[in-house]
Amino acid sequence: MENDLHRTENRLLDLLPRMEFVRLKTRLERVEMALGLIVYRTGEHLDYVYFPTTSIISLRQVTPDGESMDIAVVGNDGVVGTELFMGDEEATNTAVVRNPGAAYRLSASILMEEFRQAGVMQRLLLRYTLALFAQIAQTVVCNEYHSTDQRLSRWLLLGIDRLPPNEPKVVSELLADALCVRGASMSKALAQLQGDEVIKKGNGYIEVLDRASLEDHACECYGVVRQEYDRLLADSTEA
């Protein structure tokens, strides 16, 4: 396959035909994303979009009184900054790095130049955004109806899905904050999963030992999000 000639570790970029990727190649800047970094805040002007490779970035909604909750996670499956090609140059939420690692940064103006070509890139970005909307909607349902154990399992699965295949670990710091649960509730849920030998808690990280069992612990929300992503991106490069 010709796409094998430009592997970037980001699935959207790797789905681009060679000609479209070549136009972007020299304009993509690899950057390191530190744990807890605020990529942008709600209302800020978006100068760049980010295509994560080994990092995970959460989209976080903040209320006027300061309450906040993660509504989606983005990793090597997608892009952060979808507002730009949806018609807005300001961030509608806050983006926070939950797993440190790398990403490719692309200036907003270059992204929009490519988007207006109406090629595969445009279709990829629009269909990815639909998948992201599905994740956000399912997160709302999950937070309302499902237990901390189920929500944690869903988050861990979404996390390792968006990291390199040989990386079954996610950073445990800020996890309670990401799920907006009390520390005691998070500790109890983690202890249960570790007691069942589904995960292993290390020094600042959580390693998934038994993915199948973790899926059993998760609610149906994980499967819904994964199925929608696979459906939307499977044929996104077709003319």
* Cβ contact 170:58 at 8 Å: no
163 and 203 in one domain? yes
Domain shared by 42 and 130, yes or no: yes
Last residue in a domain, options 108, 134, 160: 134
Within-domain flag for 35:
yes
pTM of the prediction? 0.91
Give the integer Cα–Cα distance in Å for 211 and 218: 10
Q: Is residue 233 included in any domain, yes or no?
A: no
Residues pairing with 33 in the sheet: 101
Burial category of 37 from C-beta neighbours within 10 Å (exposed 0-12, middle 13-18, buried 19 and up): middle
Q: State the CATH number of the domain containing residue 156.
A: 1.10.10.10
What size, in residues, is the chain?
239
Mean pLDDT of all residues belonging to the chain: 89
User: Per residue in 76-116, pLDDT tens?
Assistant: 999 999 999 999 999 999 999 999 999 999 999 999 999 99
CATH of the domain at 130: 2.60.120.10
- Final residue in a domain of this structure, among 110, 134, 158: 134
**Treating both helix axes as pointing N-terminal to C-terminal, what angle do 148-161 and 220-234 enclose, rounded to 10 degrees?**
30
125 lies in a domain? yes
- Residue 77: name the closest of 50, 96, 100, 95 by CA: 50
Same domain for 18 and 129?
A: yes
pLDDT of residue 2: 44
Task: Indicate whether 121 and 195 sit together in one domain.
Answer: no
Q: How confident is the model over 144-177, as pLDDT tens digits?
A: 888 888 999 999 999 999 998 877 788 877 777 7
Which residue range is the domain that position 218 belongs to? Answer: 144-224
Q: What's the CA gap between 124 and 56, in Å, rounded?
A: 20
In a domain, 93, yes or no: yes
Of 86, 104, 134, the residue at which a domain comes to its end is 134
User: Is there a single domain that holds both residue 129 and residue 149?
Assistant: no
